[in-house]
Amino acid sequence: DARVTQTPRHKVTEMGQEVTMRCQPILGHNTVFWYRQTMMQGLELLAYFRNRAPLDDSGMPKDRFSAEMPDATLATLKIQPSEPRDSAVYFCASGLGQLSSYNSPLHFGNGTRLTVT
């Protein structure tokens, strides 16, 4: 059963530390999304890639966040330096191109629960 794999599942860190979250999309999926979920804001789109190229990262605080896809099997989201307000669940999701053209759902990973103290 193909699935999106995210690591780590949980991360507790101190303010100012660097945090790296990793995502392995489903093999063959060409679109990767990073979302952040909090009680207050819900699911916010941070960045997304198609065929490894960044298409939109307008939802991401540029001064501290960065997202990359070094290869088709790995997407990373880094926060440096981390702040308490970054505490949230970070989801990676992968899919196939235009969601309206395929009967193919966006598959979510299990998320990384980040706590910054």
Tell me which residues touch another protein (CB under 8 A).
31, 33, 35, 41-43, 45, 48, 50, 55-56, 91, 95, 97-101, 103, 105-106, 108-111
Residue 67 three-state SS: strand
CB of residue 81 to another protein, shortest distance in Å: 27
Give which of 31, 40, 34 is closest to 21, Cα–Cα: 34
Q: Which C-beta is closer to another protein: that of 81 or that of 89?
A: 89
Distance of CA 3 to the CA centre of its chain: 15
Amino acid letter, residue 96? L
CB of residue 4 to another protein, shortest distance in Å: 9
Q: Which C-beta is closer to another protein: that of 26 or that of 81?
A: 26
Sign of CA dihedral 62, 76, 49, 35: negative
Q: Which C-beta is closer to another protein: that of 98 or that of 117?
A: 98
CB of residue 80 to another protein, shortest distance in Å: 25
Give which of 24, 11, 10 is closest to 108, Cα–Cα: 24
Q: Which two tokens stand for residue 96?
A: 């196939």
CB of residue 50 to another protein, shortest distance in Å: 7
